Amino acid sequence: MKRLFDPCAGYHERICLLSSEDLPREERDRVEKHLAECAGCRKYRDEMVPIAGLLANWEKSFAEIEPRQAAKQRWERDFISATEAREWVVTTLMRGLLIFAKDMVTPNRRIWAGIAATWLLIALVNLSERETRSTSTVSSNTPPPEIIRAFLVQQGLIPEVPRTLSPPKPEGRRASPQA
């Protein structure tokens, strides 16, 4: 994202390659043209030329330096652990997403704060509307039990019950028939 807002960021790597004379000819012309126009990149090239010169001749400069056995073992152990330990794809993707988010949010903090405030206001309005709607509904949408019973009888799911039920007759003394 920084390359999007900084047009010279893409040239820094090419300037390093140019100073070590490892840049292909077609790209070298384009970088030299950019260096003619950009003072910041010329300053960066002037800083990189001595470093690239030292690194190009490192074998001659550091021929007498030999690493100790402990350093060699540490390098070997680090190399083996680096080749064995692979990051999870999800971790790599999340790290990339966080870097992208940082590059997007950092230069535009006030804009993102305004957007967040607007969404918060919309959420609060929606919540208050939901509460007023739920308190305003006094009547229930469920039908009364008589209508439910009539529907079930019509569908034949329950037997029809007579509307008036007469109370059972009390059993009392029976009169004996006399002839």
Query: What pLDDT sits at residue 1?
Result: 47
Quote the distance between the C-alpha of residue 44 and its chain's center: 36
Residue 160 has pLDDT above 60, yes or no: yes
DSSP annotation of 107 reads G
At 9-21, the pLDDT tens digits run 778 888 888 877 7
Crossing angle of helices 9-19 and 39-56, in 10° steps, is 40
- pLDDT tens, residue by residue, 21-53: 778 888 888 888 888 988 888 998 898 888 887
Mean pLDDT rounded to a whole number for the chain: 78
Q: What 8-state DSSP symbol labels residue 138?
A: -
Q: Quick one: pLDDT at residue 120?
A: 94
Of residues 70 and 18, more confidently modeled: 70
Cβ–Cβ < 8 Å for 19, 52: yes
Of 96, 111, 100, which Cα lies nearest the Cα of 2?
A: 100
Q: What is the mean pLDDT of residues 65-89?
A: 81
Q: Quick check: helix, strand or coil at residue 175? A: coil
Q: How far apart are CA 84 and CA 78, in angstroms?
A: 10
* Higher per-residue pLDDT: 161 or 99: 99
> Which residue, chain included where needed, has tokens 């800083």?
47
Total residues found in the chain within this entry: 179
Least confident of 60-64, 129-133, 168-172: 168-172
80-137: pLDDT as tens digits? 877 765 667 778 888 888 888 888 777 777 888 888 999 999 999 988 887 766 555 5
Give the Cα separation of 51 and 72 in Å (integer).
25
In this prediction, residue 179 carries a pLDDT of 47
